[in-house]
Amino acid sequence: MNVMPRIAKPEDAGFDPARLANITNYFQSYVDRGKVAGFSTLVSRGGEIAHFETAGMRDRERGLPMEKDTIFRIYSMTKPITSLALMMLYEEGHFQLNHAVSRYIPSFKKLRVWASGTAQKYDTRPCEREMTIRDLLTHTSGLTYGFMYEHPVDQLYRDAGIEGANTVDLTLKEMVEAVAEIPLLFSPGEHWNYSVSTDVCGHLVEVLSGRPLDEFLTSRIFAPLGMVDTAFFVPKEKLGRFATNYFKNPKTGKSGIMDVGDETSSYAQPPKFLSGGGGLTSTMTDYWRFCQMLLNGGELDGVRICSPKTIEFMTMNHLPRGKEMKEMSISAFSELAAEGAGFGLGFQVVLDPAVTQAIGSAGNFSWGGAASTYFWIDPEEDLIAILMTQLYPSSTYPLRPQLQQLVYGAIID
């Protein structure tokens, strides 16, 4: 079990204590109204944790409280970790960002683009150019997710058993090979679309390193950073700390349990599919250590994971011609709003806070997970904020912008 970090006085980190305490008071109202079972919030500045609180239950039915060492499904907050893993191999000279993916995954050489038809009978056309590794890291690859329910290609994903982090019958390699048989939504580089791209990045980590994704992440990132509770499954001795995942159907309003945090969970044993796009479980302190390493420029507690220049490069806007996500997006879903933001190599990047209509700084980089988890890093303010809860989907309530309002409203220095 990870050692709980020291909590600094809010005023020593430039916060008003009463305003910072209002974060817990505010989100407690979600718990009191039965909208969220429980939550945990953390805010740090200058490397000092000034706020780390929990409220409510990690399992409402069993009366188990949310605690500081509770384990969460972080879903797409896995993506920045996998993206960093791939860029660590970039640092070592294993590939160039403009290399065709087919150079390392030969089946991607035959990719074609959807032209017309139905999921049962369709026509394709050639790609305008080959998919590059940069396309994967920026979600401009032409790939998609089966859960979009917007296009016949989404149906083809579901028919092939490609269900993102919920894929169960395929290995990572098998999933990538299955994707190669399905048309792209568009030619690489033409649009932005949330997708299984980061799962393909995870397989590239395996191909380039010669190691399974879980082994690479553990040996190169989790163990060096002391992220002792981050993995693709929750071992038996830790299941007592695993939160239950709830859902609320946005169309019907029906709510219930999606996955219980016990031995019946699909996370209670090592998965066949290692989802680099959404398969990890973690804790608040583990993910804070990952974020603090990023904010420090690739180093934490004397351990260097990567170069500061690599972090700087990953958190630039890499969309073509400096475009915003809003200009390029055709996605039916994204974890975060597209206005005023670009996309780097694994992170959304704020370009203009005024356009985002959410208080913050230009250069903020962030992402979230399907069960309403969220983090952002503000280099200008030397600030990290993390929200963990377990409510699917993440669009159910505006928890993320509300947390930003509360955190920035507490800064007084």
Residue 11 CB coordination number (10 Å) = 13
Task: Give the list of residues 6+ apart from residue 104 with CB closer than 8 angstroms, or none.
Answer: 95, 204, 207, 208
Q: Is 68 exposed, middle or buried (0-12, 13-18, 19+ CB in 10 A)?
A: middle
Cβ contact 302:312 at 8 Å = no
Per-residue pLDDT at 2? 59
Q: Which long-range contacts (CB under 8 A, 24 or more apart) does 6-11 make?
A: 6/49, 7/49, 7/50, 7/51, 7/52, 8/48, 8/49, 8/50, 9/50, 10/50, 10/51, 10/410
What's the predicted TM-score (pTM) here?
A: 0.97
- Neighbouring-strand partners of residue 303: 300
pLDDT at residue 332 in the model: 85
What parts of the chain have a pLDDT lower than 70?
Answer: 1-3
Q: Which DSSP category does 397 fall into?
A: S
Residue 323 tokens read as 């475009």
Amino acid 3: pLDDT: 64
